[in-house]
Structure 1
Amino acid sequence: MTLYKNIPFILLSLAFILVSCKYENKEKDFCKEDLKAKKMMQGVWYDELEDNVVFSVNGDTIFYPDSISLPVAFTVINDSLCLNGAIMTKYPIKNLTEHLLIFKNQNGDEIKLFKDENASSKKVDLVKYNRHVAINQHRIIKKDTVVMLEGVKNHIYIQVNPTTYKVSKSNYDNEGVRVDNIYYDNTVSICIVKNSVKTFIHDFHKKEFLGTIPSGIIQQSILNDIIYEGHDSDGFHFYATMGIPDTPSNYIAEIIVSYNNKHTISKIMN
């Protein structure tokens, strides 16, 4: 008798499991990558009105014609072009054929691109696969200042050193597509020599300025330079400048090296 009493509960449980499985299968189909669309995306795509290459697709990666824009992995899911860069962005595809691609950018504008089938054309030559070049000054900058204090000669050396530390910054190209540019950060050294004796030396990295510059800003910023400003009873004063590449904004922090060879960092302005 107990078995018969449990039959409604068993049937209800089975129905729930069947519905759940059906829902999961639909969800998987909804999120499934469109490999046919990805295959049609392969090749060089250009703007016919501007007569310039917008991007080229090779395998799972989109390449841009300029050397500073980072190649980005992509997928086509649910009629959307998904770019898996530093931030994932989706662009609704309105039409995609072997020779035509129409999608909407982040402003809602329709972008119409055509595929260049001529393998010998200059448009193909503009796209250099795997030739991304990060932006950096690629040179060491040295500065030397002499300060006389109570008859003692103080040599202050500042050196800006390029590094291989990468900083990623997102921009939008002419078609309104988000692209990631890569820059190289710097370290800056301060060395103070008194009467031929090194009394202070330190290599400054941008992470040391986290307490004075917002973390969201500092992640996209580059330590540009440190400038000697002057001295007073507190010690030697320096201004460190840090900014996001290709923007006019700079953040400035003050470094004070005391006469007992200790340094402090403080915020002075945005």
Structure 2
Amino acid sequence: MTKYVAISFIAILLSACSSSSKKSEFSQQKEDLNAKELLQGIWVDDESEEPLMYVKGDTIYYSDAQSAPITFKIIQDTLYTYGNDTTCYKIDKQSEYIFWFHSMVDNTIRLRKSEDDIDSLSFVNRSTVIPIYTEVTKRDSVVNYDGIRYRAYVYINPSQMKVMKTTYSVDGLSMDNVYYDNVMHICVYEGKKSLFASDITKQMFDNVVPADYLKQSILSDMHFIKVDRNGFHYQAALSIPESVIYNMVNLIVSFDGKLTISSVK
């Protein structure tokens, strides 16, 4: 069953500055370069004393190694960040050593600039990415139909294709986490004769899966289901990383090697 509705609704509620009209409006305004200069450096949470972000140039790096760097601008009294979503935060107070702003859930985030060199260790080794599969996984199904023996294979191949998923901290900060996608390879043999062999990527499902969901999902699994007069049935899973949200897609390989893709009813 398709389960992408919940995450789409959450994204609509939280992405307060994502409309094209607002993007156009603030993109025309002049950036406050003095405020950007004041924001350079490492900032720690005033209450927990934990490093939160490192600002260098026009980029913010979060201490969470899973989060991707994002670009930013300060226009008037607002901080704009540009990741998967464009997000705005109202600035309450800014000086050389203090930065207070309102999060998307209206919490006040109080930061102070770090003067401790050890805090820089929170922003090293930025290559951490969570893989769904770490090695090639092979599944081999032997089936008989109409007196003929077939082999239906699935290969799950980890790739270096990155998927960005927007997440929100408990304080209402928008962050883009990074994951690796997979490439599936399915092939069907009648004896030694190849009836079908092809790589399958999630982009092939753009006609049956909404674009917003497809962008943040991973092609996480593929299974051979059955063979009948229509051909060889497979089912692919498109899941949102670290969530229970998923979407299933049907694939049928006909006996003459044609691939048909459809959504699960």
Task: Using structure 2 for the length normalisation, give the TM-score.
Answer: 0.82
Within the candidate set 152, 163, 181, 1:185 is matched to 181
Within the candidate set 210, 214, 232, 2:210 is matched to 214
* Structure 2 unaligned residues grouped into runs of 5+: 1-24
Counterpart position of 2:121 = 125
Counterpart position of 1:79 = 77
The aligned amino acid for 2:173 is V
The aligned amino acid for 1:47 is D
Shift of 1:253: 1.3
Aligned residues: 239
CA distance in 1, matches of 2:121, 2:197: 49
CA distance in 2, matches of 1:210, 1:39: 42
Distance 1:261-1:32 versus aligned 2 partners, 3 A rule: closer
CA distance in 2, matches of 1:172, 1:143: 36
- The alignment partner of 1:208 has SS state of helix
Shift of 1:190: 0.7
User: Does 2:245 match 1:249?
Assistant: yes
Shift of 1:150: 4.5
* Structure 1 unaligned residues grouped into runs of 5+: 1-26
Counterpart position of 1:258 = 254
Counterpart position of 1:97 = 95
CA distance in 1, matches of 2:204, 2:149: 29
- After alignment, is 45-54 or 246-255 more displaced? 45-54
* RMSD (Å), alpha carbons: 2.2
User: Does 2:154 match 1:158?
Assistant: yes
CA distance in 2, matches of 1:92, 1:256: 51
What is the percentage of aligned positions where both structures have the same residue?
A: 34
Shift of 1:117: 0.6
Counterpart position of 2:10 = none
Work out which structure has the larger RCO, using CA pairs closer than 8 Å and 6 or more positions apart in sequence. 2
Q: Which has the larger radius of gyration?
A: 1
CA distance in 2, matches of 1:266, 1:118: 56
Q: Please list every run of at least 4 consecutive aligned residues from structure 1 whose deviation after the TM superposition is greater than 4 angstroms.
A: none
